[in-house]
Structure 1
């Protein structure tokens, strides 16, 4: 890491000198010592650390709100099944209105938005704000919670990555002009990795994601900052939530080799069904390319909400929410 030049040192030195004089420490600290202290600061890493800590805290808050709304929605379905015919369509329409009115980029899982922002060339970096911002992150959280109250099938992991990327983008946008140069692309990739680590409690997974995405850039200049940021986000989430596995701690004995044919069979069936579901979702996503009128979108959301309410009424609360507790 190259040492920051006088262009950065002088403004910081001026601020620190004022504080030293105000605190009466001038007799112990002269400007030469202050300069030496400033040069020792890991200045490029500080934005990564701040953004990573914020990501961990927001991810934990989002996780708790997410599960609270999920529990409330499922409780309503169990105790008042007929309410779903009013609550679920309302949740669909309100969520659509929030996204369309305040942050159109908050639609979808959020991962494509983050990856698209990473690939935006420097000459068009002004477009990144349209994909990642605190406004988008807030609407993302609010609309997803609204869907959960209505029993919607939605996850928090993809949204967490876009939220994390938005936090890193916001921290990057607040860096003063005299700060040592930090790569915006590396910041966004680190945001995705930190969000991955915080959402799934997988710091190693976040590190692998970052390394894979940074193979085309000079990772040697930022590797310490990137790895530290991912670890900070993961540890912040783990400190507040405690050690946990994404699917809990299942008690699995030694099944023996006799079960291997069944494992292979069901794994193959699950893979085929998963691929089929992905194809169906992709085709449904293509419907969004159709030219919908503003009213047509809301009527469509209302119709889908009523159809899904019928599914919830028929199959109960187990059909609601992300499905992870059921697994």
Structure 2
């Protein structure tokens, strides 16, 4: 027979180990600091984009043809000069550091306090330029760098590994950036760790929730896009919903394929020119982004959150070709080399897909539901992390009544994407690891992504 736990004895054992409680307190303190850094980054990014909007409204908007390339070139130069590890999204960098073959010295190339602060400043410059980037991916690297720095203060027998700190930090970044703690926990399991270490899983989840609470404390317990009104979905919504999921799956898969090819194929002609003349390439790409923004009346500048809010409110003023041009603007923004993520732009592209399907099928009464499904589907197709995608959207629109619809659209879109492209973040992470000197450069390519619903081992 199994002996019943002795409460008093176990309580005594817990309380007598002061060093363990000190280690736990250090981790939680750093989790709070990580959440506050993400809050500060949010404020910096918002201030940067507000500055851009003032420039855009000045002299009819034509000033952005000079402003956007100039700020982009400055950000690319500063990134290459002082913080090359901060370039790009930030999620692939954290995934590289989770590889056991990566040494502590190599890990410092991708996560550190210096890179966290550099990422905050340089990504904010990208927002000030008006690039089509998001702050959620960078928040993962920012928080992971802060959390990883806690390691120096932990005791040798703390049982809290660098791997656990990095997972907690990366997930805390998602939780604080989206004001969605549940999404942070799922992101830790699905995209970063694949599993949580049993010894420290409770502490990791507590750190994620605490970091998320920092965002709630700063911005209030409000959903990112407000609360959508979800009508009763009948069988008449099946065909439009299926169209949204299929279109988002194909477009998201193509987006992931194009992104991976652009960022990992040095032999390609444009990438050879980019490597030889990085600042000229950045200026040319930024000029194209500026022209696209002017053509769309400013709709493609920035993350696209305002456009999504207007769509959900039934006040969309974006052009019918918004999806295509936002797709191109986001791809070019990532390609020029400025630190910035693709989560928020992906949500706006998916929202555009849902809005277009609602318009074409005359489904105005269920347009908010189709827009939310498009957001979940496109993000799932790009990241091939359907659970994270649908939970993020569910928490961002307070769409608990749409759980099954969001889940189904995310799963279907992710399945279609897997037929077209390899997992984007894993592909980028493997490319970064292969460029490292030493054992990490000999790692085998990542295994093909698992089918939806099947646990993945790492």
Report the TM-score range of the alignment, normalised by the length of the smaller protein.
0.7 to 0.9
Bigger shift: residues 314-323 or 269-278: 269-278
Contact 2:41/2:124, CA 8 A, preserved across alignment? no
- Separation (CA, whole Å) in 1 of partners of 2:278 and 2:39: 33
Q: Which residue of 1 aligns with 2:366?
A: none
* Separation in 1, partners of 2:95, 2:48: 28
Q: Residue in 1 aligned with 2:132? A: 153
- Matched residues in 1 for 2:165 and 2:283: separation? 39
**Between 267-276 and 98-107, the greater mean CA deviation after superposition:** 267-276
| Alignment check: 8 A CA contact 2:93 2:141 kept | yes
Task: Name the counterpart of 1:206.
Answer: 184
Deviation, 1:54, is 0.5
**Partner of residue 37, structure 2:** 58
**Alpha carbon RMSD of aligned pairs, Å?**
2.4
**Which residue of 1 is the match for residue 239 of structure 2?**
261
For 2:359, the equivalent position in structure 1 comes to: none
- Cα 1:293–1:156 shift into 2, 3 Å: closer
Once the two structures are TM-superposed, the CA of residue 323 in structure 1 deviates from its matched residue by: 0.8
Conserved? CA contact 2:274–2:281, under 8 Å: no
Change (3 A) 1:216 1:249: closer
Asked if the contact 1:78–1:317 (Cα under 8 Å) also holds between the matched residues in 2, the reply is: no
Check if 1:110 corresponds to 2:97. no
Residue 95 of structure 1 corresponds to 75
Q: Deviations over 1:137-163 (max 9, x none)?
A: 122111111121221011000000000
The structural deviation recorded for 1:250 is: 2.1
CA contact (8 A) 1:78 1:316 kept: no
Change (3 A) 1:255 1:310: same
Partners of 1:294 and 1:93 in 2: CA distance:
14
What's the counterpart of residue 216 of structure 2?
A: 238
Matched, 1:171 2:150: yes
Match of 2:453 in 1: none
Q: What displacement does 1:68 show?
A: 2.3
Q: Secondary structure at the match of 1:243?
A: coil
Cα separation, partners in 2 of 1:178 and 1:275, compared to 1, 3 Å: closer
Secondary structure of 2:277's partner?
Answer: helix
Counterpart Cα distance in 2 of 1:263 and 1:293: 40
User: Is 1:135 aligned with 2:120?
Assistant: no
Give the aligned partner of residue 322 of structure 1. 303
Displacement of 1:288 in angstroms is: 5.3
- Give deviations 1:211-240, integer Å, cap 9, x for gaps: 4555667x2221221111111111111111
Residue segments in structure 1 that go unaligned for 5+ positions in a row: 1-35
Rate the CA distance shift 1:48–1:292 in 2: closer, same or farther, 3 A: farther
1:118/1:93 CA distance change after superposition, 3 Å = same
Q: Is the Cα–Cα contact under 8 Å of residues 112 and 148 in structure 2 kept in the other structure?
A: yes
Rate the CA distance shift 1:309–1:161 in 2: closer, same or farther, 3 A: same
- The structure 1 residue matched to 2:252, chosen from 264, 274, 278, is 274
- Cα deviation code 1:35-94 (max 9, x no counterpart): x76638623312320111011111111112212222331332233311011101101101
1:240-264 deviation line (CA, Å, top 9, x unaligned): 1111223322233324332221121
The question of 1:305 aligning with 2:286 is answered yes
Match of 1:250 in 2: 228
Kept in 2, the 8 Å contact 1:73–1:149? The answer is yes
Q: How many Å separate the matches in 1 of 2:42 and 2:21?
A: 31
By relative contact order (CA 8 Å, sep 6+), the higher-ranking structure is 1
For 1:97 and 1:74, the matched residues in 2 are separated by 23
- TM-score after normalising by structure 1: 0.81
Which range is displaced more, 263-272 or 232-241?
Answer: 263-272
